[in-house]
Amino acid sequence: MRASALNVEAAQASATAAGQLPDPRLSFGLSGFPISGPSAGRFDETMMTMFKVGIQQDVPSGARRRAERNIAEADIDMALASAETILWEVRIATGEAWIDLHYAERRLAVLEDLLVSLEPLWAAAPSGVASSRIRPAEALEPVELRADLEDRRDRLQADLASARARLSRWTGDPAPTTEGPIPNIDLSIETWTVRLSDLPPLRAYSAATQRATADVDLARAARSPDWSFEVSYGHRDPMFGDLVSVGASVRLPLFQTSRQEPVIQARAADALRVSAERESAERAWLAQLQGDLARYSSARARWIRARDVVLPSLRNRADLVTASYAAGTADLSDVLDAFTSLADARLDVLDREAEVARQAVQITLTYGSGQ
């Protein structure tokens, strides 16, 4: 963002010089100095030798200077559009990184809670073997489950560190944290009215079109003649007197078919290319919007189903199997299977919620004009 701001500053500074007259040229020299004949190599009062000094000013056509000013203004607009797009991209990336860190912390907290809740199961295995309620081989199953959960905890800790690093990249905070509740992830997409033309990447095409049009105008300005004016002063021998000369020259665009017209056609083709690219980008963004909304709806439905149907069912199953185990009508392997499924379901629900939240943030910050 700082780099894009400097780009805007550079474009604004450059615009001051656009359309100005070129710097004048100073000319000076010796005229009429003899190099042959009786007076060769020396100043002779009969010769017209003189010292000459003059100043020359080129004056490009008004059309050329107007086109140069229009190009400078278009460059400023393009720099501003680029800065706006970068800010938009940074906001989206920062929002997604915040969500990733938030849910990485929650996943780790849920797993830690699972490990604590299963502590009685770890303790039950040795006592079950001692009382001959379970076979010695069954006592290893809780150990394997605990090791698997601890492996998963290690992976979640690595995911947490990675998520914190990504958020640190976008905020500059070396140790960022997430505070407060998450944003609203229940989007009423049916009532959304998205104006794709408001997206910064598409708005940038307006500046690009303006620049392409100015380039066409500059190419057309080459058909108008440019002038150059000169004033000079010549110092001669006093017996002849000094001279003042005034002159003008003009560029004659006589061969426009082979010189100016091809350039005009090239710049016009560039302008049409920008228009075609804008149409292509609009179609791409429309397709992406429709896909994003469809993926969000699907992810939200799967999350609600897992949260409201699957998880309560597995929780009830775990309670029933635990009661059966206490009554001696279920094996320890049944309890382990029930609690393993419940642990997977809790983490799966959180994963699905995180997916919904990430998509909600991405959709809102991308299409919602900063909602």
Domains of the chain: which residue ranges? 2-33+48-367
Tell me if residue 19 falls in helix, strand or coil: coil
The angle formed by the CA atoms of residues 215, 217 and 223, to the nearest 5 degrees, is: 120
Per-residue pLDDT of the chain (371 residues; tens, 9 = 90+): 999 999 999 999 999 999 999 999 999 998 877 777 777 777 665 567 888 999 999 999 999 999 999 999 999 999 999 999 999 999 999 999 999 999 999 999 999 988 887 777 766 655 544 444 555 545 556 777 778 888 989 999 999 999 999 999 999 999 998 988 888 898 887 777 788 888 999 999 999 999 999 999 999 999 999 999 999 998 887 777 888 999 999 998 888 888 889 999 999 999 999 999 999 999 999 999 999 999 999 999 999 999 999 999 999 998 898 888 778 777 777 877 888 888 889 999 999 999 999 999 999 999 986 44
Which two three-digit tokens encode residue 329?
């009508």
Give the CA distances from residue 238 to residues 30, 39, 50, 244, in Å, rounded to whole numbers and listed in that order: 16, 18, 10, 14
d(CA 159, CA 153): 10
Residue that is written with structure tokens 């914190």 in the block: 164
Distances (CA, A) of 61 to 17, 133, 214, 259, 306: 16, 102, 15, 17, 72
Per residue in 16-48, is it b (16+ CB within 10 Å) or e — as a string? eebbeeeeeeeeeeeeebbeeeeeeeeeeeebe
| Exposure on the CB side of residue 21, measured as CA atoms within 13 A | 11
The CATH-assigned architecture of domain 2-33+48-367 is Up-down Bundle (1.20)
Strands 25-31, 50-59: parallel, antiparallel or unpaired by DSSP? antiparallel
DSSP string, 142-192: HHHHHHHHHHHHHHHHHHHHHHHHHHHHHH--SS----SPPPP----GGG-
pLDDT of residue 129: 42
Give this prediction's pTM.
0.80
Q: Give the count of beta carbons closer than 10 Å to the beta carbon of residue 298.
A: 13
Spatial separation of the C-alpha atoms in residues 328 and 183, rounded to whole Å: 47
What angle, rounded to 10 degrees, do the helices at 260-305 and 332-367 form? 150
256: helix, strand or coil? coil
pLDDT score of 141: 65
Please report the pLDDT score of residue 130 as a whole number.
41
Q: Can you tell me whether residue 45 is helix, strand or coil?
A: coil
**Quick one: tokens of 73?**
């203004």
Say how far residue 363 (Cα) sits from the centre of its chain: 16
CA R_g for the chain:
40
